[in-house]
Amino acid sequence: MRVLISADMEGISGVANRSFVLDGALNYELGRTFMESDVNAAILGALEAGANEIYVTDAHNEGVNLRLTNLNPKAKLISGSARPFPMIIGHDRVDVAMFIGYHARLGTSLAVLDHTYTSRLRLWINGVEAGESYMNTLLCGFNGVPVLLYSGDQALANEVKEFSPSALRVVVKEAFGRSAAASLSLEKSSLLIKEAAEDAIKAWQEGKIKPIVTSKPVEIKVEFIISEMAEQAAVLPGAKQIDPRTVVSVQPDIELGIRAFLSMIALAKAPLF
């Protein structure tokens, strides 16, 4: 059994604000340690459930947050950012996936550092408002890979329940705002994640968790915070600006749809004023 663990940072145990997730910020090194603790718990749970190959994808920013020397040596770490679908690289070579340290989509109330790739846009996939968890779940599902487990705050857990009620959800902290949270101890979080990883694999083996997919073709709708960004994104071939701040692109499948979305992000640069 081959497992992918995609690890973001905003939903990690103990992470409460930007100072934990930005390289060079006050609590960044502490945030890295917290991230490694949550990931190691998922690795251990997967191993005890019978996994014989585990990939860990560093899914935060440039993908260089996790330190190989601090991870369980039975897992392989995928680092770096010059790659397609950077948050789930390796998903096409595994049987199942787990998302550790994920966060809620932009605009969610009481959610630690909520955003959708950036804090400057909202995304809809076939009419469903999407965050990174839904988007990456669909990409995994397109390749027949179910996402078994998600960890983060209570807002992330509620979001996941909307599209994948059978998956296991671990709440490692309670958000009191975008930059405030009450966190469990690392020991408690690790125990919950490890046990959930084991239970999730057992549920999958029993046929209780299936890949999540969407219909074809796929409509990608992106609403930017200002019109100039939408104008820039609409340069993408096949994209159409349908109102001052919104661009739509229809693609044959979810992989091409998300490629279009990432291309729009690359094209759209927010001005200073």
For 178-225, the pLDDT digits (tens) are 999 999 999 999 999 999 999 999 999 999 999 999 999 999 999 999
For residue 217, what pLDDT is reported?
98
Nearest CA to 103 among 156, 51, 53?
A: 156
The distance in angstroms from the start CA to the end CA of the chain is 51
Please determine, for residue 272, whether its predicted confidence score (pLDDT) is greater than 80.
no
Which position among 60, 91, 103, 115 bears the catalytic label? 115
Which residues make up the CATH 3.30.1360.130 domain(s) of the chain?
Answer: 218-267
Average pLDDT over residues 112-131: 97
Report the pLDDT value the prediction gives residue 84, as an integer from 0 to 100: 83
Query: CATH homologous superfamily for 218-267?
Result: Dipeptide transport protein (3.30.1360.130)
| Residue-by-residue DSSP string for the chain | -EEEEEE-STTSTT--SGGGTSTTSTTHHHHHHHHHHHHHHHHHHHHHTT-SEEEEEE-STTS--S-GGGS-TTEEEE--S-SSSGGGTTGGG-SEEEEES--PPTT-SS-TT--BSBSSEEEEETTEEE-HHHHHHHHHHHTT--EEEEEEEHHHHHHHHHH-TTSEEEEEEEEEETTEEEE--HHHHHHHHHHHHHHHHHHHHTT--------SSEEEEEEESSHHHHHHHTTSTTEEEEETTEEEEEESSHHHHHHHHHHHHHH------
What pLDDT, in 10s, does the model give residues 96-113?
999 999 999 999 999 999
Mean residue pLDDT across the chain: 97
What pLDDT, on a 0 to 100 scale, did the predictor assign at position 24?
Answer: 96
Q: Where in the sequence of the chain do the CATH 3.40.50.10780 domains occur?
A: 2-113+132-205
**Position 246 confidence tier, pLDDT thresholds 50, 70, 90:** very high
pLDDT for residue 270: 85
How far is it, in rounded angstroms, from Cα 169 to Cα 223? 28
Average pLDDT over residues 114-121: 96
State the pLDDT at residue 248. Answer: 98
Rounded distance, CA 142 to CA 151, Å? 22
Q: Which CATH class is domain 2-113+132-205?
A: alpha beta
Length of the chain in terms of residues written:
273
Q: pLDDT at position 271, please? A: 84
In this predicted structure, what is the pLDDT of residue 183? 98
In the predicted structure, residue 83 carries a pLDDT above the cut 80: no
Task: Determine contact, residues 190/184, Cβ cutoff 8 Å.
Answer: no
pLDDT tens-digit readout, 13-25: 999 999 999 999 9
Whether 115 sits among the annotated catalytic residues: the reply is yes
Tell me the mean pLDDT in the region 124-149.
Answer: 98
